[in-house]
Chain A
């Protein structure tokens, strides 16, 4: 099981706490945390590949957009993305290659990535935030 995130208690929705040594690791761990919510990840192939390029006014919006993009691609391709090569991550722009495969077993549908409780803070282990998914 990959480190870097854990599900946290949330009454109405689903929330994860995510951390990483740097912003790229935070973003990759958040993406994997999303993937874990969407589907069982054993035996998922890497046959699909997408290039993602995003630009947003601030780093929190960029994180929401990044996860939202993965959610959209998952829905469109009926797939789950588990490998993330982040080539560029300035606080307001991101370029990445993501890979994944068809969902073998879906876990839950996520309606959206919210801004609720989202605040990327610097900690001893790098960066940390909570992400709340609307289910």
Chain B
């Protein structure tokens, strides 16, 4: 059983567990945390899961945990692991069931004062135009043929359908289209589930928020991202819905036999995996990439719902109801990236599970207008609390395979949260503090109460001071939609 004293503090915000701690570890474990987060880390199985991750074939550097990490299955949430493509593995548990759960940030032309008289109407219109909640059919059901196309092409399909602008696509991770998507690797059941859910938020911790830029920490970068103090913005947080869940489910089962076939010794069943270059590994990647593209299209279609709501409520009443896209990031994904490790350039399969890419300036993967600045990093807080915009850094490339945190991790179970918070009371408190709430379920609200999460400000402070992302702006909510 791992204990605090087994770790060595190697930096102000960095703790290492050496390989010798357990004989099957191939690399050390590295936690990014402040003292308080480090002390809390031993309350669940997250560190054990990280140690298990460190045993996977082909893993390089360390099995890393971002400061918002907590217990998942297989990998912890907040886990980052890069595997060599020639001798490493790809693992569905290193991506998660909600493949490409992520965040999109859209900026309006308007300031808080201009939008204030219209917030109630806007939130009602957004609640209608962006479907959320249980049983969630989407605003744009698709045919079989359309589904095949959007799985392959992602946001490019949306652009061709008139559902996206060129800027939307350019300002999305992977330009909204992960290469290597192979619809033939996706089950009929996943496709069946996916057809009706495009343009839906879902429920749980997914949300759509109307926010105001409350504080700017880096004015020149904020300006490049099109952000300014007092500006109204919109965040969309959701993923690949039933489609992605089914893909993960299918492959967690399918890869069970691959583990034995390739002689991989696993400390945990949920770490099931296959060699990256095996037929099974390639099949999973091809299906996963389809789910990634599905989620990009899902958020794109919701973005059109946002635009529609803004136009419906604000046309003729304000100087501009337009929204432009700042960026869209993934939190659950596995990607092929080139990184320098121990002075050598390597092609890696980088797993980010509850972690965000945070590429620094100069990477060709970034949109042309952001290349010299670095990648926007979007970190949503828990409901009713601040969210943050950060920028990727060179230091992240060095330390974390260009990765950083994704949001606030949970510290309390849902049953505990429901005991401590009543949903209707929380709704009243949010409304009293000036946040308009549209939520499908009071129970859902209670489970997502801020007290159930780590303080995102603390998490963001750690990544900022560790240098693996730099603060650009803080957003505060004025309207929240939860399913």
For the complex, is B434 an interface residue (Cβ under 8 Å from A)?
no
* A7 adjacent to B415 (CB under 8 Å): yes
* A134 adjacent to B97 (CB under 8 Å): yes
With a cutoff of 8 Å between Cβ atoms, the chain A residues found around residue B97 in the complex are 111-112, 114, 134
Give Cα A114–Cα B93 distance, bound, in whole angstroms: 10
For the complex, is A68 an interface residue (Cβ under 8 Å from B)?
yes
For the complex, is B44 an interface residue (Cβ under 8 Å from A)?
yes
Chain B contacts with A in 39-91, Cβ cutoff 8 A: 44, 70-74, 77
* Shortest distance between the CB of B128 and any CB in chain A (Å): 19
9-residue interface stretch from A23-31, A81-89, A101-109, A120-128: A101-109
* A108 adjacent to B135 (CB under 8 Å): no
For the complex, is A116 an interface residue (Cβ under 8 Å from B)?
yes
Interface centre among B73, B192, B193, B410 (most CB of A within 10 A): B73
Interface string of A72-94 (1 = CB under 8 A from B): 10011010000000000000000
* Shortest distance between the CB of A28 and any CB in chain B (Å): 21
For the complex, is B416 an interface residue (Cβ under 8 Å from A)?
yes
* A115 adjacent to B71 (CB under 8 Å): no
* Shortest distance between the CB of A81 and any CB in chain B (Å): 15
With a cutoff of 8 Å between Cβ atoms, the chain A residues found around residue B410 in the complex are 11-12
* A108 adjacent to B134 (CB under 8 Å): yes
For the complex, is A14 an interface residue (Cβ under 8 Å from B)?
yes
* A111 adjacent to B98 (CB under 8 Å): yes
With a cutoff of 8 Å between Cβ atoms, the chain B residues found around residue A7 in the complex are 415
With a cutoff of 8 Å between Cβ atoms, the chain A residues found around residue B185 in the complex are none
Give Cα A113–Cα B76 distance, bound, in whole angstroms: 17
Chain B contacts with A in 411-449, Cβ cutoff 8 A: 411-416, 441, 443-444
For the complex, is B279 an interface residue (Cβ under 8 Å from A)?
no
* Total interface residues in chain B, CB < 8 Å: 43
Query: A38: nearest residue on chain B (CB-CB)?
Result: B134
For the complex, is B256 an interface residue (Cβ under 8 Å from A)?
yes
Known contacts A65-B253, A114-B73, A115-B252: A108-B44 contact under CB 8 Å? no
* Shortest distance between the CB of A119 and any CB in chain B (Å): 9
Give Cα A118–Cα B71 distance, bound, in whole angstroms: 15
* A72 adjacent to B189 (CB under 8 Å): yes
For the complex, is A45 an interface residue (Cβ under 8 Å from B)?
no
With a cutoff of 8 Å between Cβ atoms, the chain A residues found around residue B35 in the complex are none
* Total interface residues in chain A, CB < 8 Å: 32
Point out the residue from B72, B74, B203, B242 that lies within 8 Å of A75, measured CB to CB.
B242
Query: B205: nearest residue on chain A (CB-CB)?
Result: A135
* B77 adjacent to A12 (CB under 8 Å): yes
Give Cα A115–Cα B71 distance, bound, in whole angstroms: 14
* B193 adjacent to A72 (CB under 8 Å): yes
Give Cα A33–Cα B443 distance, bound, in whole angstroms: 18
* Shortest distance between the CB of B445 and any CB in chain A (Å): 12
* Shortest distance between the CB of A49 and any CB in chain B (Å): 20
Chain B binding surface SS class: mixed
* B253 adjacent to A64 (CB under 8 Å): yes
With a cutoff of 8 Å between Cβ atoms, the chain A residues found around residue B71 in the complex are 10-12
For the complex, is B248 an interface residue (Cβ under 8 Å from A)?
yes
Interface string of B165-195 (1 = CB under 8 A from A): 0000000000000000000000001001100
For the complex, is B339 an interface residue (Cβ under 8 Å from A)?
no
Query: B253: nearest residue on chain A (CB-CB)?
Result: A61
* B248 adjacent to A112 (CB under 8 Å): yes
Give Cα A132–Cα B39 distance, bound, in whole angstroms: 25
Known contacts A72-B189, A111-B97, A112-B249: A134-B73 contact under CB 8 Å? yes
* Shortest distance between the CB of A41 and any CB in chain B (Å): 15
* A12 adjacent to B245 (CB under 8 Å): no
With a cutoff of 8 Å between Cβ atoms, the chain A residues found around residue B203 in the complex are 108-109
With a cutoff of 8 Å between Cβ atoms, the chain A residues found around residue B411 in the complex are 11
With a cutoff of 8 Å between Cβ atoms, the chain A residues found around residue B70 in the complex are 11-12
With a cutoff of 8 Å between Cβ atoms, the chain B residues found around residue A65 in the complex are 253
Query: B76: nearest residue on chain A (CB-CB)?
Result: A12
* A14 adjacent to B134 (CB under 8 Å): no
Point out the residue from A9, A64, A72, A116 that lies within 8 Å of B416, measured CB to CB.
A9
* B443 adjacent to A111 (CB under 8 Å): no
Query: B447: nearest residue on chain A (CB-CB)?
Result: A108
Query: B49: nearest residue on chain A (CB-CB)?
Result: A116
Point out the residue from B242, B249, B443 that lies within 8 Å of A108, measured CB to CB.
B443
With a cutoff of 8 Å between Cβ atoms, the chain A residues found around residue B272 in the complex are 115
With a cutoff of 8 Å between Cβ atoms, the chain B residues found around residue A75 in the complex are 135, 193, 242
Point out the residue from A57, A72, A134 that lies within 8 Å of B256, measured CB to CB.
A57
* A108 adjacent to B73 (CB under 8 Å): no
With a cutoff of 8 Å between Cβ atoms, the chain B residues found around residue A56 in the complex are 253
* B270 adjacent to A116 (CB under 8 Å): yes
Give Cα A113–Cα B73 distance, bound, in whole angstroms: 11
Give Cα A76–Cα B413 distance, bound, in whole angstroms: 29
- Residues of chain A touching chain B, judged by Cβ–Cβ distance below 8 Å, are 7, 9-12, 14, 56-57, 60-61, 64-65, 68, 72, 75-76, 78, 103, 106-109, 111-116, 118, 132, 134-135
Known: A109-B134, A112-B245, A116-B72. 8 other contacts (CB 8 A): A60-B269, A61-B256, A65-B253, A68-B249, A72-B246, A75-B242, A76-B193, A113-B249
Report 13 cross-chain contacts, Cβ distance below 8 Å, ordered by A residue.
Answer: A9-B416, A10-B71, A12-B72, A12-B410, A61-B253, A65-B253, A107-B441, A111-B97, A115-B73, A115-B272, A116-B73, A134-B98, A135-B414
- Residues of chain B touching chain A, judged by Cβ–Cβ distance below 8 Å, are 44, 70-74, 77, 96-98, 134-136, 189, 192-193, 202-204, 242, 245-246, 248-249, 252-253, 256-257, 269-270, 272, 409-416, 441, 443-444, 483
